[in-house]
Copies of this chain bind each other. A is one copy, B any other.
Amino acid sequence: MNKNLRSLIFFTVLSLSSVIASAQNKIVVFQSDFGLKDGAVSAMKGVSMGVSTDLKLFDLTHEIPAYNIWEASYRLEQTVRYWPAGTVFVSVVDPGVGTARKSVVLKTKSGHFIVTPDNGTLTLVAESLGIDEIRSIDEEVNRRKDSKKSYTFHGRDVYAFTAARLAAGVITFEQVGPLLPKQVVSIPYQQAVLAGKAIKGDIPVLDVQYGNVWTNIPQTLFDQLQPKYGDIVHVIIRYKDKQIYKGDMPYSQTFGGVAEGKPLAYINSLLQLSFAINMGDFGKIYHVESGADWSVEVSLN
């Protein structure tokens, strides 16, 4: 066996093992409020492919309402945990672009990486998945060559570029930049709590495609009311101090458990209490929306 051949195979084995040993897995998942009508998302992916054509690029969503940092935070919370550890996320909802907000990479305790402006986007995943380390992106090193004249597209020139380099193993997590204190900018919101015989919580988001109303009340907390399928749930929904909806509905295991057009309470795919109308749009019919100002109160008989 000649020397070149030996080197080739050695190099191949080395490559394989370095992939296996590496914390990163060559997967990058993009989220933004850019929409899909122009070339912005594609430019971010092009820059990533320029770093390494071995990367696998995916989307979370690019339909975050413009500047809605809360929803960016919620979509990460809804999705990150279903991807393998080592996946690198890029989230660019960045109304403060070009101002003093920090550009960071969070490594969660679950081994996921999130590249984002630290503007509240990390509120929910930092709580739920835990902060392993946070590093500030050193833009002297981690910035696309020749991009210094452009002040407004950090998504492409810093975030996508850094995420691609991290995911591909061109840089280690340490090479992102200096370590920061283990805290992120957080958006205040109402936690779910048991208050006597009722549970209070908020409506972080609607299930937009169907109009289902998702609360932040986990099944484990709701179970303290000892609900059985078929029990009637009393629901009050408020926007700030104003009552928007008051009604009763059965607690149901499935949508098909009530007639078409009838409301039900159920546990959604994130294991949180939710309200829906079978084959209908709860949000639209009852004018219910979502966000920090939307609260909910539920009780059984």
Residues of A within 8 A of B (CB): 1, 5, 8-9, 13, 25-27, 29, 33-40, 42-43, 45-47, 49-50, 53, 56-63, 66-67, 75-76, 78-79, 82-84, 87, 95-99, 149-153, 156-157, 205, 207-210, 219, 253-257, 266-269, 271, 279
Contacts and interface: CB of A to CB of B under 8 A. Distances in A.
Contacts of A76: 39
Chain A at the B interface: SS class: loop
14 contacts: A1-B5, A27-B53, A33-B209, A34-B209, A36-B36, A37-B63, A37-B209, A42-B58, A42-B82, A66-B209, A82-B156, A97-B254, A98-B257, A150-B267
B271 A78 contact: no
A87 B210 contact: no
A57 B58 contact: yes
B42 A99 contact: no
A49 B84 contact: yes
A29 B95 CA distance: 29
B82 A209 contact: no
B61 A36 contact: yes
A84 B43 CA distance: 11
A38 B209 contact: yes
A151 B79 contact: no
B150 A271 contact: yes
A172 to B, nearest CB: 20
Contact of A83 (B36, B49, B56, B62): B49
Contacts of A49: 27, 56, 58, 83-84, 87
A156 B146 CA distance: 37
A191 to B, nearest CB: 21
